[in-house]
């Protein structure tokens, strides 16, 4: 087809035509020359440009009679330089068809001293044919126009500068299912947890009082941890990091880190929220958007806390897979977290397992945004993962109240943060994965035999009580006010709380294994089929 178009563009009566390839781009131009010869009565010759310098001697017995010299136009890896076309000048061609791939169709090709101008000096007609650049299939990145991040108030109750959500808005889709129904589908393998949403928990007046009391008592401790982890990021990761929180638990922490950087250093750091799904990986389209707008080396992934470290491992595997499929390189898969009780990461504010009040609630402390959704009929290959904006819950929203309460403590903890950051920078912070080992022991001891049903730490235990079907709660003997909300939720749902001496975490939530075939309880009895 291209030969037919070129034949129609040749000057009438053209007798001698040269098809000129571009360095290693030889096979396609040669095929084109053959097709052009069949489509016209012209004598068609073929050659290619080269970066190899050859002495030209205008002698009938010498192979290289003339030489054209022009600047490189293919952005070579070895830098700019001269390129050559031999036996074009003086050959009497009525037309020259220059064939390049799209990667070599650059301004340098069309410049006054470029190849096309050099050819025009020796032939009355120069035609340019551009063929698509070839990219090996394993590294093929399809050109997709990804949408800009969603921002409040259109999506989320956060101010637009606080965070941009690299998500698609599924607010108009019914995704909620009863907790027991979701649990049965998840454990039976009939559905992935990210394919539906739990019904949003509406806290009682007593529970809301507990949240505000917990926030009042823990705000300074959270502020110190926020300051410490931000200082580590600025000192070790990037002087101007791009914060990318893992929606949604990481998002309030990302906003607070951004606020600390502005408070202490006058920095206005970009902050985005992306989806990561256990067993499915991180949103690759979100990574593509980030790579197109920022240096991947500056990206710092942020989460609220670590449990046993499943998401830590998930992110590392997802980044490796993204690169293997041709995605941009340079993303650092290590997560920065507020609290690392599982000893899974190097960048953290504390390794204490304490109550972070943002774990007490769902969307009403996370900008009214749901947990993220990944379902094939809703999320296509060119879409971001989805989430809902619960505008109707605005009356119960405490997202900004939480942020403001913690940020208000920044001035009073500044000196303590300096000391903590200094200590952390000089400490051995290598992950020990002690949390994962503890979870494996608990899983076996209680006859669960599935670490995914063991949720360690205050934050993960709270999630179990809010979203899943809890079996029982293990609480470290003597745990204090950090567990007041856990005890209240457990009481409301009729879940026993068992005190355990020497528990590695302040508490651990055990999901009911009744839907797991062949599961047995600690006493050896079957607990479900």
pLDDT range class, residue 522, cuts 50, 70, 90: very low
Helix, strand, coil percent values for the chain (each to nearest 5): 40, 20, 40
* Biggest alpha carbon–alpha carbon distance for the chain: 101
The model's pLDDT over 152-189, given as tens digits with 9 standing for 90+, comes to 999 999 999 999 999 999 999 988 776 666 556 555 55
Whole-model pTM?
0.65
Question: Among 57-61, 200-204, 387-391, 466-470, which is the least confidently predicted range?
Answer: 200-204
* Summary mean pLDDT of the chain: 86
pLDDT range class, residue 273, cuts 50, 70, 90: very high
Residue holding tokens 């410490």? Answer: 228
pLDDT at residue number 521: 37
Residue 450: Cβ within 10 Å count: 12
Query: How does strand 82-86 pair with strand 67-71?
Result: antiparallel
DSSP-derived 3-state class of residue 274: strand
Whether 332 has a pLDDT exceeding 90, the answer reads yes
Q: Does residue 206 or residue 193 have the better pLDDT? A: 206
DSSP states along 239-282: SS-EEEEEETTHHHHHHHHHHHHHHHH-----EEEEEEETTTEE
Q: Does residue 90 or residue 195 have the better pLDDT? A: 90
* 435-511 has CATH 1.10.3210.10 classification: no
pLDDT at residue number 184: 60
Q: Does residue 201 or residue 324 have the better pLDDT? A: 324
Distances (CA, A) of 111 to 89, 96, 124: 19, 17, 18
DSSP states along 17-68: EEEEEBTTB-HHHHHHHHHHHHHSSSEEEEEE-BS--------TT-S---EE
* Contacting residues for 395 by C-beta, under 8 A, at least 6 apart: none
Q: What is the dihedral of CA 205, 211, 216, 221, to 10 degrees?
A: 180
pLDDT range class, residue 519, cuts 50, 70, 90: very low
CA–CA dist 514, 523 (Å, integer): 14
Question: Among 93-107, 383-397, 446-460, 503-517, which is the least confidently predicted range?
Answer: 503-517
Whether 28 has a pLDDT exceeding 80, the answer reads yes
Q: How long is the chain?
A: 529
- What is the side-by-side strand order in the sheet with 95-101? 43-48, 16-21, 95-101, 126-131
Question: Among 13-17, 237-241, 461-465, 491-495, which is the least confidently predicted range?
Answer: 461-465
| Geometric angle at alpha carbon 160, from 154 and 165, rounded to 5° | 75
DSSP states along 316-381: HHHHHHHHHTTPPS----PEEEEE-TT---SEEEE------GGGSSSGGGTTTBPPPB--TTT--T
Q: What percent of the chain has pLDDT over 70?
A: 89
pLDDT at residue number 428: 92
Q: Does residue 408 or residue 74 have the better pLDDT? A: 408
pLDDT range class, residue 309, cuts 50, 70, 90: confident
The model's pLDDT over 398-440, given as tens digits with 9 standing for 90+, comes to 999 999 999 999 999 999 999 999 999 999 999 888 878 888 8
Extract the tokens encoding 425.
Answer: 């920078």
pLDDT range class, residue 465, cuts 50, 70, 90: confident
CA–CA dist 456, 463 (Å, integer): 10
Question: 311, 436 in Cβ contact below 8 A?
Answer: no
pLDDT at residue number 430: 92
**Domains 2-137 and 435-511 agree in fold:** no
By the 10 Å C-beta count (0-12 exposed, 13-18 middle, 19+ buried), 210 is classed as buried
DSSP element (H, E) containing 273: strand 271-277
Mean pLDDT, range 366-395, rounded to an integer: 91
pLDDT at residue number 517: 37
Instruction: Name the residue ranges covered by the structural domains of the chain.
Output: 2-137, 164-432, 435-511
* 2-137 has CATH 3.90.1490 classification: no
pLDDT at residue number 525: 30
Cis before residue 39, ω within 30 degrees of 0?
Answer: no
Question: Among 206-220, 251-265, 274-288, 414-428, which is the least confidently predicted range?
Answer: 206-220
pLDDT at residue number 460: 81
Q: What percent of the chain has pLDDT over 90?
A: 51
pLDDT at residue number 520: 36
Q: Which of 308, 365, 353 is nearest to 480 (CA)?
A: 353
Question: Among 46-50, 134-138, 333-337, 503-507, which is the least confidently predicted range?
Answer: 134-138
pLDDT range class, residue 78, cuts 50, 70, 90: low
Mean pLDDT, range 329-358, rounded to an integer: 88
CA–CA dist 399, 386 (Å, integer): 20
Residue holding tokens 């989430």? Answer: 387
pLDDT at residue number 182: 55
Whether 526 has a pLDDT exceeding 60, the answer reads no
Question: Among 194-198, 362-366, 406-410, which is the least confidently predicted range?
Answer: 194-198
């Amino acid at each position: 087809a291209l030969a037919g178009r070129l034949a129609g563009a040749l000057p009438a009566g053209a007798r001698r035509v040269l098809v000129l390839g571009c360095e290693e781009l030889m096979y396609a131009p040669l095929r084109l020359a053959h097709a052009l010869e069949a489509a016209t009565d012209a004598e068609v010759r073929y050659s290619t440009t080269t970066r190899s310098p050859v002495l030209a001697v205008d002698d009938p017995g010498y192979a290289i009679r003339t030489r054209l010299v022009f600047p490189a136009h293919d952005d070579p890896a070895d830098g700019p330089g001269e390129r050559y076309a031999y036996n074009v000048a003086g050959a009497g061609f009525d037309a020259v068809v220059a064939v390049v791939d799209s990667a070599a169709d650059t301004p340098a090709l069309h410049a006054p001293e470029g190849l096309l101008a050099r050819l025009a000096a020796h032939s009355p007609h120069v035609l340019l044919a551009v063929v698509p650049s070839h990219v090996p299939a394993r590294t093929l990145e399809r050109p997709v126009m990804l949408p800009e991040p969603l921002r409040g108030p259109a999506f989320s109750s956060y101010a637009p500068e606080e965070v941009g959500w690299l998500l698609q808005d599924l607010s108009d889709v019914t995704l909620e299912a009863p907790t027991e129904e979701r649990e049965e589908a998840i454990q039976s393998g009939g559905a992935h947890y990210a394919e539906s949403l739990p019904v949003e928990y509406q806290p009682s007046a007593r529970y809301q009082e507990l949240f505000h009391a917990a926030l009042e008592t823990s705000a300074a401790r959270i502020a110190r941890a926020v300051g410490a982890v931000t200082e580590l990021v600025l000192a070790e990761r990037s002087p101007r990091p791009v914060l990318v929180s893992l929606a949604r638990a990481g998002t309030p922490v990302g906003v607070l880190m951004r606020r600390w950087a502005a408070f202490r250093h006058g920095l206005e750091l970009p902050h985005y929220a992306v989806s990561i799904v256990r067993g499915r990986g991180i949103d690759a389209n979100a990574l593509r958007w980030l790579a197109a707008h920022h240096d991947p080396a500056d990206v710092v992934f942020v989460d609220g806390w670590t449990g046993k470290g499943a998401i830590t491992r998930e992110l590392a595997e997802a980044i490796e897979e993204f690169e293997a499929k041709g995605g941009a390189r340079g993303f650092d898969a290590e997560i920065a977290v507020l609290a690392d009780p599982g000893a899974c990461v190097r960048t953290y504010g504390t390794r204490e397992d304490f109550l972070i009040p943002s774990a007490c609630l769902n969307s009403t402390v996370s900008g009214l945004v749901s947990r993220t959704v990944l379902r094939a009929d809703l999320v296509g290959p060119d879409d971001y993962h989805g989430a809902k904006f619960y505008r109707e819950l605005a009356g119960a929203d405490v997202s900004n109240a939480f942020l403001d309460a913690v940020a208000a403590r920044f001035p009073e903890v500044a000196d303590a943060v300096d000391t903590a950051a200094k200590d952390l920078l000089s400490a051995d912070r290598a992950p020990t994965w002690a949390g994962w080992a503890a979870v494996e022991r608990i899983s076996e001891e209680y006859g669960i035999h599935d670490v995914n049903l063991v949720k360690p730490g205050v934050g993960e235990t709270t999630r179990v009580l809010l979203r899943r079907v809890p079996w029982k709660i293990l609480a470290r003997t003597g745990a204090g006010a950090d567990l007041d909300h856990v005890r209240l939720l457990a009481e409301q749902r009729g879940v026993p709380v068992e005190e355990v001496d020497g528990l590695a975490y302040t508490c651990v939530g055990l999901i009911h294994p009744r839907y797991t075939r062949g599961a047995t309880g600690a006493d050896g009895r079957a607990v479900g089929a």
